[in-house]
Structure 1
Amino acid sequence: MEEGGIAIDFSELREALSSQSYSKVADICDSLMLRVAAEGVPYQDEWPYALHLLGYLYVDDINSARFLWKSIPAAIKESQPELAAAWKVGQKLWTRDYAGVHEAVRGFDWSQETQGLVNSFLEIYTRKMFQLLCSAYSTISIQDTALFLGMTEDDATNYVLQQGWLVDPVSLMLTVKKPPVLKEQKLNPDKLQRLTEYVFQLEH
């Protein structure tokens, strides 16, 4: 986010990062990009594309991430390793390569600017994967659990045991503890459809 000689005010974006308001990053970038484009400011060489892309991934907006990636000049893609690393995470999300998401995140040395956002994303993603396993399985192997959670088998076992799961030391199978059902909570039909698709992907 070096402004150089171009008058782009990134203060709102910096504030969102410093206050860990990561869910606002994509919207702030969108608004700022529209503003500078409307003013005819040549922003492309100065733009924090990696942050913008990661901001979309943080709020699970894969389609906007793909659109942004397609719009970035090839020279910029080739000259910014962190941008390419962010896109690799996006590709793994798009193909539902759950273990690959963890590998893509951990396989790059993120800058100080993006590190907090990336760490927070991975924490939320791990929780989502755990909730998905709770919904989709009654028993699952330690090996598969470790893949989904992006952990070693020992760490994954410890993680789920803390959540009340049970382990069979002979078969190395885990018995899933289902979360309590809140009767007053109605499941959104869209969420149910997405969950059904997830389960189908897991089983095939």
Structure 2
Amino acid sequence: MDLSPVTEALSVKSFDKIADICDDLMLKVSSEGISFHDDWPYAIHLLGYFYINDCDSARFLWKTIPAAIKESKPEVVAAWRIGQKLWTRDYPGVYGAIRGYDWSQEAKDMVAAFSDLYTKRMFQLLLSAYSTITIHDLALFLGMTEDAATTYVVENGWTVDATSQMVTVKKQAVKREQKLDSSKLQRLTEYVFHLEH
């Protein structure tokens, strides 16, 4: 089984493409009738879904992973621990799951990049959901020490009241565009077709 497209994407830090690359390879290998379970980079595949914020696909993948793999590959379980925390919206727990495992060299850069991206997502969540927040809660949401979290938000224009230990959120206009990716729809159609036949 040729996993070079995954290796290449990891080496150039194209982490946002990992899930799609893995999905395409999995479909190709499955259609050729090749057994791939023992060699498949499940941890990387799961992390790829988390990177693009697709917990549903990660849950589906987790359910299809053979029990023997889950028992023999602790990094797969560690990756899924991140997914469990994401799924239950245990925001501080995500950071605990990230830091709670000594990731392989193959996964280390991707996990670090996901952690940074997740912190940015949490910042945007705080920006949209809060007008004030305690420094303690801020640190939990951002997975940082209280000092580091305070510095992070002050650099983004928020204000801190050291006496009350409260942070005032500086609201920003947020623009969002939703794009339909026809290639994902095509892959999903092919995958469902393959499962049905």
Q: TM-score, structure 1 length as denominator?
A: 0.84
CA distance in 1, matches of 2:112, 2:73: 20
Other structure's SS at 1:46 match = coil
Residue 30 of structure 1: how far off its partner (Å): 0.8
CA distance in 1, matches of 2:154, 2:37: 48
Unaligned runs of 5+ in 1: 1-7, 189-204
Unaligned runs of 5+ in 2: 179-197
CA distance in 2, matches of 1:106, 1:145: 18
Distance 1:68 1:137, change over 3 A: same
Question: Which residue is 1:47 aligned to?
Answer: 40
Question: Which residue is 2:85 aligned to?
Answer: 92
Structure 1 counterpart of 2:100, one-letter code: G
Question: Which residue is 1:115 aligned to?
Answer: 108
CA distance in 2, matches of 1:52, 1:131: 25
Structure 1 counterpart of 2:54, one-letter code: D
CA-based RMSD:
1.4
Alignment partner of 2:66 out of 64, 67, 73: 73
Alignment partner of 2:23 out of 7, 10, 30: 30
Structure 2 counterpart of 1:66, one-letter code: R
Residue 11 of structure 1: how far off its partner (Å): 1.1
CA distance in 1, matches of 2:176, 2:149: 30
Q: TM-score, structure 2 length as denominator?
A: 0.87
CA distance in 2, matches of 1:136, 1:68: 31
Q: Deviation digits for residues 65-112 of structure 1, max 9, x if unmatched?
A: 001111111111011110000000000000000000011001111111
Question: Which residue is 2:153 aligned to?
Answer: 160
Question: Which residue is 1:60 aligned to?
Answer: 53
Question: Which residue is 2:132 aligned to?
Answer: 139
Which 4+ residue blocks in structure 1 deviate beyond 4 angstroms? 185-188
